[in-house]
Structure 1
């Protein structure tokens, strides 16, 4: 598997297959066959963050090295930059390098797809996306491809970007429009994705009783996209309890203890779908999901 740019990396990681790869990796982790430490955060000048995320199973090891630099959009650069190195776990030989931002966007959206398939009371409902960046776009694509979502409403603090994402949704065969008021959109949307860089809540509810929310934007303990009262009104599931205990500001600022008050997604796989909501799935990311992407990419690149 040689080095891959963004487009080539995306081609190796179709959303439904990646969701299945994540589920398989979580199952392996439960048996001790796949491991990863909590990620390392290292501060950079200007408010940026360097993230180091290794993981390995019996065959493959990966290390994701990415930066998150809030000043980059003003410089004409992506917010997230970096790469995922895929290694042979036995020899350490480099098998290839994947585009880091593409892996991050697609494995996060595939994880939300897996959560929606598992937890959403109405997985066939309309979708509201808060945000219009890379994660918003990836989630729109993943839910369209993996759930067959037909209708989407997009809300962003930059209306032109919301309209551009709505146009992309229409190019995928969806009914889509940019909206200014998320509160009104919540009345008709059973699926909600918050994918912003806001440090303060952008989702204030009220949610429909059958709503499913994937909150993916906030990744620090002092960041929250979802208002505390909305969090407390939901049944809450997390990608990993330790990760959300350290970085899940949406939950921590609402007074929840992820280890005590939330259910890990891995524990919900194979269980009956919740009959009612609202349901909140909080994701902060974990190297196991990058490992799943590395495993899938390696198999596709090898023709397997």
Structure 2
């Protein structure tokens, strides 16, 4: 076993160490367990607008033994600069002692828990879980969803569409390294008829997908998480509402699901992922024919699930994972 870095020995994990403690299937399982845990408390996240169009997100959550807070900056102006749009940390505390146990890399947690939530939804709702998978958007979430669906669903063919051909080719190389066949396409809408799995992972500044999904399609949309953002055309959302089913990640989507709100849909009436998981995929409002759209906006509960899983992994590696002390902050 490689020696831990000085920071890792104090419980501060970089991106690679954070990812290693959040394997895809185990993280999806942990999210499902959290949705059935009555001790989980998740306040509505705070969003503080920043100068130059950025935002600071403050996302706390707790269960009976663990408390965590995620502090994340979202900086759209970083697109194309080489700097990440999402930066920050997840701080994990032991409730019994008050000790900080871990500091996880925030963007890594965000990427992995978001894709793992999509994986969990696909496990319950996708009718053709082996794909092919169409990924719209070739950034961090595009890679995370490729990894999650390849490792968690057995997808072996991935189609990639991006406004940037260079980004698409870079993602294609990463996906090929995972053992999947890859096709880069210039037009996402033209690929829709060929792909029963679709993940839209764009920055959601403009609509990225207009084509109506095939009747057996599962679409997960993760790029828009405010009322003013949308990556799916209103007509697409309305079509799925009429002919298939729409599931949102949590009830917070009532205020955040820009794709659905801009389509004029009654978001409050839609089932949540918790409804689906707790009913074992038989939520009455999810049709068993027609396409399914899973709309993900983000929730601190997903970060709490990641913190719980990472903490269990940490307890299995005591030499590298000593708790942080007050003097090490």
The answer to whether the 8 Å contact 1:13/1:296 transfers is yes
Q: Does 1:3 align with 2:12?
A: yes
- Partner SS for 1:71: helix
Match of 2:247 among 217, 233, 237: 237
Runs of at least 5 residues in structure 2 that lack an aligned partner in the other structure: 1-9, 318-329
- Partner SS for 1:84: strand
C-alpha distance in 2 between matches for 1:256 and 1:183 = 22
C-alpha distance in 1 between matches for 2:256 and 2:47 = 11
The aligned counterpart of 1:266 is: 274
The C-alpha deviation readout for 1:232-255, integer Å capped at 9, x for no partner, is 1211001002x2111100110011
1:167, CA displacement in angstroms? 1.3
Deviation above 2 Å: which 4+ runs of structure 1? 73-76, 271-277
The aligned counterpart of 2:299 is: 286
1:95, CA displacement in angstroms? 0.4
C-alpha distance in 1 between matches for 2:128 and 2:82 = 39
C-alpha distance in 2 between matches for 1:233 and 1:167 = 34
Match of 1:51 among 49, 53, 57: 57
The answer to whether the 8 Å contact 1:163/1:177 transfers is no
C-alpha distance in 2 between matches for 1:73 and 1:230 = 27
- Partner SS for 1:85: strand
C-alpha distance in 2 between matches for 1:264 and 1:202 = 24
The C-alpha deviation readout for 1:189-244, integer Å capped at 9, x for no partner, is 00000000122211111211000000000011011111111111211001002x21
The answer to whether the 8 Å contact 1:127/1:152 transfers is yes
Runs of at least 5 residues in structure 1 that lack an aligned partner in the other structure: none
Over aligned residue pairs, what C-alpha RMSD do you find? 1.3
The answer to whether the 8 Å contact 1:48/1:70 transfers is yes
The C-alpha deviation readout for 1:70-91, integer Å capped at 9, x for no partner, is 1123443111000000001233
The answer to whether the 8 Å contact 2:128/2:216 transfers is yes
Q: Does 1:180 align with 2:193?
A: no
TM-score computed with the length of structure 1 as normaliser: 0.96
The answer to whether the 8 Å contact 1:12/1:296 transfers is yes
1:274, CA displacement in angstroms? 5.5
The aligned counterpart of 2:6 is: none
Q: Does 1:299 align with 2:312?
A: yes
C-alpha distance in 2 between matches for 1:73 and 1:232 = 30
Alignment of 1:175-254 (within 5 A): 175-234=181-240, 235-241=245-251, 243-254=252-263
The answer to whether the 8 Å contact 2:212/2:239 transfers is no
The aligned counterpart of 2:93 is: 87
Bigger Rg over Cα:
2
C-alpha distance in 2 between matches for 1:222 and 1:2 = 38
Q: Does 1:140 align with 2:146?
A: yes
C-alpha distance in 2 between matches for 1:274 and 1:175 = 31
Match of 1:25 among 29, 34, 38: 34
1:46, CA displacement in angstroms? 0.6
C-alpha distance in 1 between matches for 2:77 and 2:15 = 22
The C-alpha deviation readout for 1:104-155, integer Å capped at 9, x for no partner, is 0000000000000011121122000000000111000000000000100000
TM-score computed with the length of structure 2 as normaliser: 0.88
* Change in CA separation of 1:203 and 1:73 when aligned onto 2, cut-off 3 Å: closer
